[in-house]
Amino acid sequence: MDVDLTKEQIEARREFRKFVDETIVPYAEKIDREQVMPRELMEKIVARGYWAPELSKEYGGIGMDWLTFGILTEEIGRACSNVRNLLGVQGMVSHSLLRFGTKAQRETWLPKIAAGEIVAAFGLTEPQKGSDARNITTEAKHEGNHYTITGSKKWISFGQNADLVLVFAQCDGKGSAFLLEKDTPGLTVKPLNNLLGYRGSMVGELIFDGCRVPEENLVGMVGAGISYVAAHGLIHGRYSTAWGCVGLAQGCLEHCLAYTGTREQFGVLIKEHQSIQNMIADMLTGVTAGRQICYRAAYLQENKDPNAMMEISLAKYFTSEMAMKAAGNAVQIHAANGCSPGYPVQRYFRDAKVAEIVEGSSQIQQGIIARYAYKLHQHSQFTS
């Protein structure tokens, strides 16, 4: 509810919505259909300062607080999950570098990310290793003044056009993180098109055949790649996905409200049918609850609360499941039109299913949340 927002945040939401409606909505269907993120749209986002707004001014961002950033993410998710995913991935990489990168790495790469000069990708998932990140098989060998990386990554958002990839690999059996540039010899990129959803996220498979990266491209210490660097990036990714799912469900609701006010069946507008009203009620309830959960996660993240990470997992789990239900209802309300090109709800439905999987599937989040519940119970930390 807007009563939870400052006057500045309420005004920011109006500005975000106007920008999204005028600039992103006209591209959304084309991005999904052609499976490409237009450079001109990326430039418009950069020009508006929305590319990496949560980064501090020191690195070229505008220092946007976590709640305002969430509101921006929701509005973008309302229009296009691919654009939301693009900005989410940039945040995953930039925040990993901000927390664990060296001074030189931060000064070299963060301004370029913030300015939209480069596109970054988060290279964690492998063909045989998705959620089991600790047992990735990509290998990095320390040889002289460089590391040699061999292996592969798959289903990497914006892997097709990434200028910089944060790659996770085993070094002496310890999960580690490295920065790898797109022109590195031995790197092969294979497009992965025609996926169920996120079709405009330019997903790719990355194959490393003895790719050499200098020692100074190691992010954090050897052994800190999964538990620290990747985990930190995933927190940002889950936060972005949670807010994006609220936006996706809000988009479903808005399209259904408009559609049911014009479509007639059995002599009346379908909004008069109880079955339609039931689905509309579920959508509004889900969006309202999901937004409140995200508000809480934003507050905890902004205040560096130690429970913020767990609450973000809770938000990601709830909102992605809620968005999937909302999108299913939206398709049902639109009936055959909901399965047809030209109606956004079929795109929302496909993207919502992917949202239940990325940045840790619903089942992974359930495990995290259950452990959190036992921790709260043990320490009597449950609050109203």
pLDDT attached to residue 65: 95
Last residue of a domain, one of 179, 202, 221: 221
**What does the pLDDT look like over 21-73, one tens digit per residue?**
999 999 999 999 999 999 999 999 999 999 999 999 999 999 999 999 999 99
pLDDT attached to residue 237: 97
**Residues 355 and 305 both lie in one domain:** yes
**Residues 233 and 373 both lie in one domain:** yes
Task: Pick the closest to residue 106 from 114, 115, 97 (CA basis).
Answer: 97
Confidence of residue 382 (pLDDT cuts 50, 70, 90): low
**Residues 90 and 72 both lie in one domain:** yes
pLDDT attached to residue 2: 45
Domain assignment present for 383: no
**Residues 230 and 370 both lie in one domain:** yes
Domain assignment present for 384: no
**What does the pLDDT look like over 122-150, one tens digit per residue?**
999 999 887 778 899 999 999 999 999 99
**What does the pLDDT look like over 88-124, one tens digit per residue?**
999 999 999 999 999 999 999 999 999 999 999 999 9
The tokens of 116 are what? 């939209």
**Residues 283 and 348 both lie in one domain:** yes
pLDDT attached to residue 381: 72
- Percent of the chain scored above 90 by pLDDT? 93
Domain assignment of residue 304, given as a range: 226-378
pLDDT attached to residue 380: 78
From the number of C-beta atoms within 10 Å of its C-beta (0-12, 13-18, 19+), residue 336 rates as exposed
**Residues 235 and 211 both lie in one domain:** no
CATH number for the domain spanning 159: value is 2.40.110.10
**Residues 323 and 352 both lie in one domain:** yes
**What does the pLDDT look like over 303-362, one tens digit per residue?**
999 999 999 999 999 999 999 999 999 999 999 999 998 899 999 999 999 999 999 999
**Residues 335 and 362 both lie in one domain:** yes
Whether 359 is catalytic? yes
**Residues 299 and 209 both lie in one domain:** no
**What does the pLDDT look like over 221-263, one tens digit per residue?**
999 999 999 999 999 999 999 999 999 999 999 999 999 999 9
Total domains present in the chain = 3
CATH number for the domain spanning 58: value is 1.10.540.10
Last residue of a domain, one of 73, 98, 114: 114
**Residues 234 and 359 both lie in one domain:** yes
**Residues 205 and 285 both lie in one domain:** no
**Residues 78 and 17 both lie in one domain:** yes
CATH number for the domain spanning 271: value is 1.20.140.10
